[in-house]
């Protein structure tokens, strides 16, 4: 079976640890549940991602070198 997460077109996904998460939430003045959602079944997620984790996604961008977005893992 093909590992989709290793494909060149799939951006880097990583689980955010609690210390970094607090800094992100404080920076944007939001709660964890205010973040956009991503389903646990998404093939791009890391294997260790669990429901309730926050994922950092780094995408290539035309206007900036990289664009970083955050998603909350849901069932």
Region 37-47: mean pLDDT is 91
**CA 33, CA 31: separation in Å to the nearest integer?**
5
pLDDT for residue 1 is more than 70? no
- Domain residue limits, the chain: 11-74
Q: What is the DSSP string of 27-71?
A: HHT--GGGSPEEETT-TTS-TT--TT-EEEEEEE-SSSSEEEEEE
pLDDT at 6: 73
Summarised one tens digit per residue, pLDDT across range 13-38 is 999 999 999 999 999 999 999 999 99
Structure-token pair, residue 10: 């799939």
Sign of CA dihedral 7, 14, 26, 51: positive
Architecture of domain 11-74: Alpha-Beta Complex (3.90)
Please, which pLDDT band fits residue 7 given cuts at 50, 70 and 90?
A: confident
DSSP 6: G
């Amino acid at each position: 079976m093909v590992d989709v997460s290793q494909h060149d077109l799939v951006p880097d996904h990583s689980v955010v640890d609690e210390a970094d998460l607090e800094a992100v939430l404080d920076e944007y003045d939001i709660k964890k549940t205010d973040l956009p959602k991503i389903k646990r079944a998404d093939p791009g997620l890391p294997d260790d991602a669990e429901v309730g984790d926050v994922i950092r996604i780094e995408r290539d961008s035309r206007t900036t070198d990289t664009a970083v977005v955050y998603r909350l893992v849901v069932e």
